[in-house]
Structure 1
Amino acid sequence: MRLNKKTKIVVALLLLAFLAAQFYRPTIAVEKPDEKRLAHFSPEVDAILRRACFDCHSNQTALRWFDKITPANWLVADHIAKGRAVLNFSTWNDMAKPDRNAKLWEAVNQAIQGAMPLKSYALVHGAARLSVNDIQVLKNYVKELAPKQEADTAKEAALASQYASLVEEKARPDTLPADVNGIAYIPEYKDWTPISTTQRVDNGTIRIIFGNEVAVKAIREHHTNPWPNGTIIAKVAWDQLTDKQGNITTGAFKQVEYMIKDDSKYKATAGWAWARFKTPALVPYGKTSTFTMECVNCHRPMKDNDFVFTAPIQH
């Protein structure tokens, strides 16, 4: 089929624009690994993470030829910038061991749920795809990080201390603690309906997720993607306490986290307000208002599920 003159001109202009765009490209920093800061795991786990994760979650990115073509390189650069911000194996040893364990647990949990690697990335980067065996290897490794489930006198003492303090607790103060963004602690969660549970094997905690009336109604009506405005989800964590008979119960209170849905008011943070209060003193988490982006980035792989990880139990 012959092209007319006008079509040829349009094709030529598009081709020139494409070629010119190749000179306008993002900067993707690649560094030589610092062995003292770099993550190292068992050989089997190390091989999986380097193949499937390091391109976006380290400073040792290996760009393929098609990653360097504009406009694809801008998309790749965005993936890498966001990936490094959430998890960077090149600075792994800069974190304390509990934080490293938590990050790895979070990463494996996202892989189990199919949220990582991103489907759009794995589509053209076949090596990044995780097989069933890959995920099982990662699960087994993370399980080894879990504290031994045996009688723990320190946890028992912490629970006893908390209980004694609660018995002596004075009347609730007029002003409830609030974080730097003005999100106040919500004590009413204790009367809400439990909608799910989770377990953090990396740090030995048990978590129960509660939902307010709006959340429970949404679950009953199968209206959870997106969740309606007014939804509040509270995730409460306690020590996982094992007695001498091997029975597992909740130990000392660790923290409560809130997700509050208002897609207009909290548009800048994925439609949710985020807050966390730690220890029985209910110390607000976050020193600056931008701490919420840490929450958003952690939940970003679940953006197609309205940024919510936990699947609620249907009522």
Structure 2
Amino acid sequence: MKNKKIIFSVSAAGIVILICLQFIRPQIPLKPVTGDFEAPEHVKAIVRRACYDCHSNQTNLRWFDKISPVYWRVAAHVNAGRAGLNFSEWDKLAPGDRKAKLWEAVNQIIAGAMPLKDYEFVHHESKISPQDLAVLKDYMAAMVKRKPGDTSIINAAQKQKNVIPTAQSPMKLPVSLNGISYMPEYKHWQAISTTERMDNGTMRVIFGNDIAVSAIHSHKINPWPDGTIFAKVAWDQLEDKAGNVSTGAFKQIEYMIKDHERFKSTHGWGFARFKTPRMVPYGKTVMFTNECMNCHKPQEDQDFVFTSPLNN
């Protein structure tokens, strides 16, 4: 009898707590659709089904999404998703930014970072099948198709032919708004991976400092140790009419630096970007790092890093 009373009391307390939790509800702002994503219907149908709940102003909450504490997690997904990519505000993005956002989305799907696994687990319709992914990749390829022997890219490379992207003097090294200095020594680091950006026609080489390379050899890259530095260098991708690919004009260099104490607000990673051979620091305010973190957030289970070492 005593045990029954305990069970009843605990159950009653649990019900009361659950009811109280329903009054603690983070806001999911109701916003208008200012310019919806435009694409062929077979492409848009995939994006609408798999992405719109978190990445648009047309969020569809199921009954189980509205029950706290589940609602708290859903609200966090939606607010973070809209901040990174909002298909209902497509008109606010420049054409180049639209391509970049789609490229980012497709690559996060390829990497398995999107849709988020805990969301997909209870929202089966958000799952992207191999066939869906093939449709999205074909759409992206058609959007960014470039002609071999593009004279504008060739001419840009010629203008930079004798330009070496480095600072003139150690006393004049450019510094980003968050205090990270351009590091010319990356040229002596080991190349650990390569990638390409089909949305803007660039090819990239990722270099790692000695700490990064040591972590790779010892298979201790999740998490990466403090002191790890990556340098991602980007050039235009040149393709001649015979299909040979080479680097064109230098575009930019990006750094990721692991330091838990210095970069607490961005999960231990510091970001910096320097553009053109003049190494112009990227960003109008120090908040540019939020843009970087939003891109890397889906890779949280991989210590926020997309790079897969070639020899790992």
Asked if these proteins are the same fold (TM beyond 0.5), I'd say yes
Q: Is the 8 A contact 2:113 2:298 kept in 1?
A: yes
Asked if 2 retains the 8 angstrom alpha-carbon contact of 1:110 and 1:301, the reply is yes
Structure 1 contact 31–59 (Cα < 8 Å) conserved = yes
When normalised by structure 2's length, the TM-score is 0.95
Q: Which residue of structure 1 lines up, in the alignment, with residue 92 of structure 2? A: 94
Matched, 1:233 2:239: no
Supply the distance in 2 between the matched residues of 1:182 and 1:20 (Cα, whole angstroms): 45
Structure 1 residue 207 and structure 2 residue 201: aligned? Answer: no
Q: Closer, same or farther in 2 for the Cα pair 1:200/1:32, shift >3 Å? A: same
- Please give the alpha-carbon distance, in whole angstroms, between the structure 2 residues aligned to 1:174 and 1:75: 48
> What corresponds to 1:223 in structure 2?
220
- 1:185 alignment partner in structure 2: 182
Tell me, in whole angstroms, the C-alpha distance in 2 between the residues paired with 1:201 and 1:220: 30
Matched residue type, 2:207: F
Amino acid at match of 1:9: S
Task: Name the SS of the counterpart of 2:160 in structure 1.
Answer: helix
Instruction: Find the counterpart in structure 1 of residue 50 from structure 2.
Output: 52
CA distance in 2, matches of 1:208, 1:140: 25
**% identity of equivalent residues:** 54
Rounded Cα–Cα distance in structure 2 between residues aligned with 1:164 and 1:310: 30
Aligned-residue offset at 1:158: 1.2
Q: In the superposition, relative to structure 1, how do residues 207 and 44 fare at CA in structure 2: closer, same or farther (>3 Å)?
A: same
Letter in 1 for 2:155: A
Residue identity matched to 1:203: N
User: In 1, Cα distance between the equivalents of 2:307 and 2:154?
Assistant: 29
1:67 and 1:94 map into 2 onto residues whose CA distance is: 29
Cα 1:193/1:86, change in 2 over 3 Å: same
Q: Does the 8 Å CA contact 2:167/2:174 hold for their aligned counterparts?
A: no
Residue number in structure 2 paired with 1:21: 21
RMSD: 1.9
User: Shift of residue 246 of structure 1?
Assistant: 3.1
Instruction: Say whether the 8 Å CA contact 2:239–2:246 is kept in structure 1.
Output: yes
User: Superposed, which structure 2 residues align to 1:92-241 within 5 Å?
Assistant: 92-166=90-164, 171-172=168-169, 174-241=171-238
Of 260, 265, 272, the residue aligned with 2:262 is 265
Contact (CA 8 Å) 1:151, 1:246: kept in 2 or not? no
Deviations 1:147-171 (A, max 9, x none): 414112211221111124459x994
Q: Would you say 1:310 and 2:307 are equivalent positions? A: yes
Is the 8 Å Cα contact of residues 147 and 203 (structure 1) preserved in structure 2?
no
1:18 to 1:164, Cα distance in 2 relative to 1, 3 A? same
**Displacement of 1:244 after TM fit?**
4.0
The Cα shift of 1:301 comes to 0.7
Counterpart of 2:10 in structure 1 is 10
Taking a change above 3 Å as real, the CA distance of residues 256 and 170 of structure 1, as seen in their structure-2 partners, is closer
How many Å apart are 1:80 and its aligned residue? 0.5
Measured after TM superposition, the shift of residue 264 of structure 1 is: 2.5
> C-alpha offsets along residues 192-213 of structure 1, whole Å, 9 cap, x if unaligned?
1110100111111010000111
CA distance in 2, matches of 1:195, 1:265: 25
Q: In the TM superposition, what is the alpha-carbon distance from 1:9 to its structure 2 partner?
A: 2.1
2:152 maps to amino acid = A
1:31 CA drift (Å): 3.7
Quote the offset at 1:2 in angstroms: 8.6
Question: What pairs with 1:268-287 in structure 2 (closer than 5 Å)?
Answer: 268-287=265-284
* Partner Cα distance (1:21, 1:260) in 2: 40
Q: Which residue in 2 is equivalent to 1:71?
A: 69
Letter in 1 for 2:77: H
The verdict on how the C-alpha distance between 1:230 and 1:79 changes in structure 2, with shifts beyond 3 A counting, is: same
Residue 254 of structure 1 pairs with residue 251 of structure 2: yes
The letter for the 1-side match of 2:177 is V
Preserved contact between residue 30 and residue 61 of structure 1 (Cα < 8 Å): no
Between the aligned partners of 2:84 and 2:168, the Cα distance in structure 1 is: 40
After TM superposition, give the deviation of residue 243 of structure 1 in Å: 2.6
Report the CA distance shift for 1:187/1:155 in structure 2 as closer, same or farther (over 3 A). same
Deviation of 1:251 (Å): 0.2
Q: How many residues of Structure 1 are paired with residues of Structure 2 in the alignment?
A: 312
The one-letter code of the counterpart of 1:15 is I
